[in-house]
A and B are shown apart, each in its own frame.
Chain A
């Protein structure tokens, strides 16, 4: 069971591919790391893997199948900046329940307090927002989770606690987790396998 991307070519400017025929796979239950400096294309690859950016060429299959439309997708992406991933006009509760209604157990695992539910994004901190984003992405149908610099903007304590809970849930549900980061120390603590973006790009040539 795996999320497989083959020969992906994509870029942001015409005729200037950021990624050229790159292949990547993520297996269920695996914790894989993607290391690279900013601008190398790791976030771009993450978006392609989450089926949120259509590549110029190449294919993306999940467990051998294509992606369906208008359903809670089996691959979920967590962005680096949670304030951008939340509608500023919606209450936290509304955003949280946009895909499914998380049970109390999950909310308490991530320390989400009841009083935050009626607040708006502008009224809570970055760490708190990110926890909402993560819970929102952990629906029953989630098979793969892509964390794009998920804790880069957070302090060390919040970072450690978030990863503790995220790893536990992914293990429990056999979710394939891709950690994208520029911090090697973090990747070494979290991942079974780390791929270097530069080498990935070279391999495809």
Chain B
């Protein structure tokens, strides 16, 4: 195991706050991400686990530079050792950094799937699109269909094909697992693992611990906007004694495969 993998993404002290209107014209500032530190190395699958509302998706949006207008960002994001400015985000997005979104609604319902894959490609678009289709187990005929004609699992693979292509160094997959068949789920996970094995840095955002542990190398647990622990996947075993933070340990023990309710006996609501 190569422990000296190169760091592709390095996030330090990231804080994201939003100004929102509450009632009438009262404004308040909410800070869903506070002082977040995380890094992703080439060749690894780094899973980011957290409850919905812990700010995981915002992390992805910050790296891609697609945060909404009323947000404010503090802290540093480094890509391959260099500061990731908004300008740099724009050049890297789509070329070196790929984003596989959570929802299949990101696909244009009025455009044939094959065409959507070919968007943004250089050179012979059709040829490359067909190559990508093949790489994800889809046929040329599938490429001629519209999103509504394909199953959930196939759509997930199309999402991959539209964003992950030659030259991608960092892949951010946002909740790639919910709502699809076991088969498609395994295919997606296998795909992410393969991409990492071929040298890309993969950041997988999910609340599904089991999937994360299947293909992950390291896991970062997020809670209320900050990373409370980063550990290797091997620590998630047995009674979770190798895990440092009590929250992480409790998370591990609470899954149905482990103690589930039995460890909740006298626990207060968190």
Contacts and interface: CB of A to CB of B under 8 A. Distances in A.
Nearest to B223: A155
B198 interface: no
A157 B256 CA distance: 10
Chain B interface size, as a band, is: 20 to 34
User: Interface of chain B, helix or strand or loop or mixed?
Assistant: loop
Interface string B129-165: 0000000000000000000000110000000000000
Contacts of B216: none
B264 A160 contact: yes
Nearest to A38: B179
Contacts of B252: 156
Contacts of B207: 153-155
Contact of B251 (A126, A127, A153, A157): A157
B178 A152 contact: yes
Nearest to B270: A157
B251 A156 contact: yes
A111 B17 CA distance: 28
Contacts of B43: none
User: Interface of chain A, helix or strand or loop or mixed?
Assistant: helix
B251 A183 contact: no
B52 A154 contact: yes
Contacts of A164: 261, 264
B267 A125 contact: no
B261 A167 contact: yes
Instruction: List the 4 shortest-distance A-B pairs measured between CB atoms, nearest first.
Output: A111-B269, A155-B51, A125-B53, A185-B256
Interface of A: 37-39, 110-111, 123, 125-127, 152-161, 163-164, 167, 183, 185-186, 188-189
25 contacts: A37-B181, A38-B152, A38-B179, A38-B180, A39-B151, A123-B22, A125-B53, A126-B53, A127-B52, A153-B52, A154-B51, A154-B52, A154-B207, A155-B50, A155-B51, A155-B207, A157-B254, A158-B51, A160-B256, A161-B264, A167-B261, A183-B256, A185-B256, A186-B256, A189-B261
